[in-house]
Chain A
Amino acid sequence: MTKTKYAVDAATRRIRFKRKLKLNLWCWMFMSLAVGFYILFQGYPIICSIQYSLLDWSGMTSNATFIGLQNYKELMHDELFWNAFINSFKYMVMIVPLELAVSLFLAYLLNDEKMKGRGLYRTMYFVPVVTTASVVGIIMIFILGVQGPVNHLLVTLHILKNPINFLGNAKYALPTLVIISLWKDCGTYMIYWLAGLQGVSKDVYEAATIDGANRRQTFFHIVLPLIAPTGGIIAILCAINSLKVFDIVKTMTEGGPYYATDVIATYVYRTAFSSEIGMPRLGYASAAALFFGGAVIIIGILLNAMKDRLQKNVQ
């Protein structure tokens, strides 16, 4: 009796093990391509970055000295690094809620099956994504300049007494950049949301309509909870992308006026490739980038831990 039981146990265990092995093999086969590309084109560069960050190296000559954590130590006292660090987070805090809300609103509106001309609208709101950045740079200066139409409008409407130099004033430059990025990237997130919204089955909308819910109610009570998981991913992407913002800042202000819009990416770029006297500092710039990345990861982990604890407390 016991013997047979043991034998059956062993057999099931063997089968289970086999099944597990099979599953793992299959999964890793599915992963192999992505992991391979990742190691070559993302992992390796990151490892290189880590290594550069321990060097006193201009990136231009072969003359690199290993200096341990010296770069990181120097970073701690670098006021401009901290300025960029804080600006990056300020920028993120301003843009993430705006970007997510506006793009989700657009996506939901333009996901309506009965909506006429939605293809046209989708294209219209997507167009800024593909508009060339340097062209955006100059037209925005025309539009937002002191003599530009925005100021003209605001002054005529008596909202402003005197025109504001939106991009040239340290106080307004960062919020102005936020608005410009919102305009430029909204289409991207609209696409992500649209993809997420496709996961909501048609029956859900039909059921809601039968229950007499209007589109807004359907959205908040039914659709939003359903797309929350994808929403989380999109929010993380949005937050991380905004912390790494580069193109729009580089073309609009180059981090100015007087470092008011200097974010990590522009700080790092300047340190790594531009120099006034002597040579740039690729090693130091790598350290700045990695330190920032590390800080973001730690903040992410902490926030997540806090969220878990809060959820537990609520329960």
Chain B
Amino acid sequence: MKLKRLGTLLLTAIIAATTLAGCGAMPSTGNGNETGENASVIAATEENTDGQITLRVVDWSDGSATQREEFHKKFEEAHPDIKIEYTMLTVDQFKNTIVTMIKSGEGPDLFPIPVGLTLNTAVEEGWFQPINDYVTDEFRNKFDPEAFAEGVTDIGDEWYTVTEQMPIIQCLFFYNKDILNQAGVTEVPTTYSEFREACKKVTEMGNGNVYGLIDGGKQMNRMDVMARSLAAAAGGKVAATQKVLTDNGVAPYDSKEMNDALGFIKGLVDDGSIHPDTINISAPEARELFAQGQAAFLCQGMWCVSQWDANYPDLNYGVMAVPVPDGVTNTYVQAGELSPWMGIYKQSKHPKEAAEYLMALYDEQYGYQQSNVESGSFVSCIPEINEKYMTNEHMKQYYTIAEETSRVVPTLVKRDEKANDFYAEVKDVQPSLGAIVQGIISQSITDYDSALKTLANDTTTEWKRASEAVGMDYSSLEFPNWDATKDYTDADYETLK
């Protein structure tokens, strides 16, 4: 092989390729009409000889996968003419695969909006159709009124998506009662110093087998949630994860509260209180190791409850609030935000059956909602189901603490309609907050305050750029009348106008 000559040839090839690139390779802009024909071909093939319809459902609700399976069985029994094809993916896989199909007119009949995309953008892209015409009025009336929000489930009078569950905070601390007892910790810690003290005692007692805190440190998004919750609990004005808010005109990443929060994590690292596997594992592994009694504390969400109750019935654990800096009182973490879930594909050939499916999901008769509420997977959007079936003690504890220690924070989407464009435009700044926390835990960065400063500056610049690019007023990110100790209400939005 004469590679030397190949070099020149290669160059020619690349040039040729680039010239060719002009034609035909545009990202497929599958908007309705042009692909409609193809979709109908598919639809024709998918009806079996006995007239059975296949309804394709894709999502990533793995926390309630078993309940879902049972639901599908019941649903198919009740609707012998419908066959459910359910595919469970992760969000990344969804973005990698299904989005391509949605755009080319062959998406599944029912699917959720992936993280990062707002409902308005998804609707503009032609992903979803309104469900008003396909569902009954009683269906909507069953829901908690708070399960609807403009730009999340509805656009104007049109109803597009349902929410999976009532929003709830994703980060509280679980503690293992037996381990704390053994270590001689009698009171559940509430402040940074108490928490560190408790962790120290546990780690000492554990002698290399039990540690203070464990978490899924491989997942930057989990680290991000933890840092934001800690900072909010310290009194900082920080948006919930994946959301954007400024404090005094800047991205609130190098605020005193954020510094305190990371300082607290750094302190735990210095004490040797963090389980050494933390950095190697994801949240699911951390949940298992906590249940195996390898750590006294775990920072995760309510979904743990049902998993432990099923696999570790003997685990003696409790739920506690996010610890606060010493001497700080009357602070709150960000309340969970309503997020969109499933909607009906715009080009679905079976919107009626898809709506049927949606209605059944929230119907007591099919048992999906109550089995999830009973097992502690989530709080239902149907209030009467919660009243009847919320019997799980741990879940109640989590729910109560979550309600008591969190406050609704303002959201951009509610205030400014340009917000959708803003979210479509804004780009991640890295190293992100989650990455910095990971750096602290793995002891890769010691000087976290300068990392935070860079992050805050770069982020502010990026947010300014993005808001300018979409023609949104940058000051929309600032909510001057926001009092972090109170829920931010509709009235507050009104006064801003």
Q: Could you list which residues of chain A lie within 8 angstroms of chain B, going by C-beta atoms?
A: 43-44, 46-48, 50-52, 55, 57-64, 80, 138, 141, 145-147, 163, 165, 167-170, 253-254, 256-260, 269, 273-281, 297, 300-301, 304-305, 308
Q: Which residue of B lies closest to A46 (CB)?
A: B17
Given contacts A51-B25, A52-B27, contact A60 B114 (CB under 8 A): yes
Chain A to chain B: the 5 pairs with minimum beta-carbon distance, closest first: A257-B442, A168-B279, A258-B439, A62-B29, A258-B444
Q: Which residue of B lies closest to A141 (CB)?
A: B280
Alpha-carbon separation in the docked complex, A260 to B435 (Å)? 11
The segment from B2-10, B179-187, B353-361 that touches chain A is: B2-10
Chain A-chain B contacts (Cβ-Cβ < 8 Å), number: 161
* In-complex Cβ contact of A147 among B209, B217, B279, B428 (8 A): B209
Q: Which residue of A lies closest to B422 (CB)?
A: A278
Enumerate chain B residues within 8 angstroms of A297, measured Cβ to Cβ: 10
- In the bound complex, do residue A258 and residue B435 qualify as a contact, i.e. CB atoms below 8 Å apart? yes
Given contacts A62-B125, A277-B428, contact A168 B277 (CB under 8 A): yes
Alpha-carbon separation in the docked complex, A260 to B441 (Å)? 13
B428 to chain A, nearest CB (A): 5
The segment from B67-75, B115-123, B301-309, B321-329 that touches chain A is: B115-123
- In the bound complex, do residue A47 and residue B431 qualify as a contact, i.e. CB atoms below 8 Å apart? no
Main secondary structure of the interface of A (DSSP, over half): loop
Q: Is B35 an interface residue (CB 8 A)?
A: no
Alpha-carbon separation in the docked complex, A256 to B121 (Å)? 32
* In-complex Cβ contact of A279 among B124, B276, B424 (8 A): B424
Given contacts A62-B27, A277-B242, A279-B424, contact A80 B279 (CB under 8 A): no
Q: Mark B334-346, 1 if CB is under 8 A from A, else 0.
A: 0000000000000
6 example contacts (A-B, Cβ-Cβ < 8 A) are as follows: A60-B114, A147-B208, A147-B276, A257-B438, A258-B438, A300-B3
Residue from B7, B27, B103, B115 whose CB has the most chain A CB atoms within 10 Å: B27
Enumerate chain A residues within 8 angstroms of B444, measured Cβ to Cβ: 170, 257-258, 260
Q: Could you list which residues of chain B lie within 8 angstroms of chain A, going by C-beta atoms?
A: 3-4, 6-7, 10, 17-18, 20-22, 25-31, 91-92, 95-96, 99, 103, 114-117, 121, 124-125, 208-209, 217-221, 224, 241-244, 276-281, 285, 423-428, 430-432, 434-435, 438-439, 441-445, 466
Enumerate chain A residues within 8 angstroms of B281, measured Cβ to Cβ: 141
Q: Which residue of A lies closest to B219 (CB)?
A: A254
B94 to chain A, nearest CB (A): 9
B422 to chain A, nearest CB (A): 8
Alpha-carbon separation in the docked complex, A47 to B428 (Å)? 27
- In the bound complex, do residue B121 and residue A61 qualify as a contact, i.e. CB atoms below 8 Å apart? yes
- In the bound complex, do residue A275 and residue B115 qualify as a contact, i.e. CB atoms below 8 Å apart? yes
- In the bound complex, do residue A50 and residue B277 qualify as a contact, i.e. CB atoms below 8 Å apart? no
Alpha-carbon separation in the docked complex, A103 to B20 (Å)? 41
Enumerate chain A residues within 8 angstroms of B18, measured Cβ to Cβ: 50
- In the bound complex, do residue B92 and residue A274 qualify as a contact, i.e. CB atoms below 8 Å apart? yes
Residue from B6, B224, B276, B423 whose CB has the most chain A CB atoms within 10 Å: B276
Alpha-carbon separation in the docked complex, A305 to B10 (Å)? 14
- In the bound complex, do residue B92 and residue A51 qualify as a contact, i.e. CB atoms below 8 Å apart? no
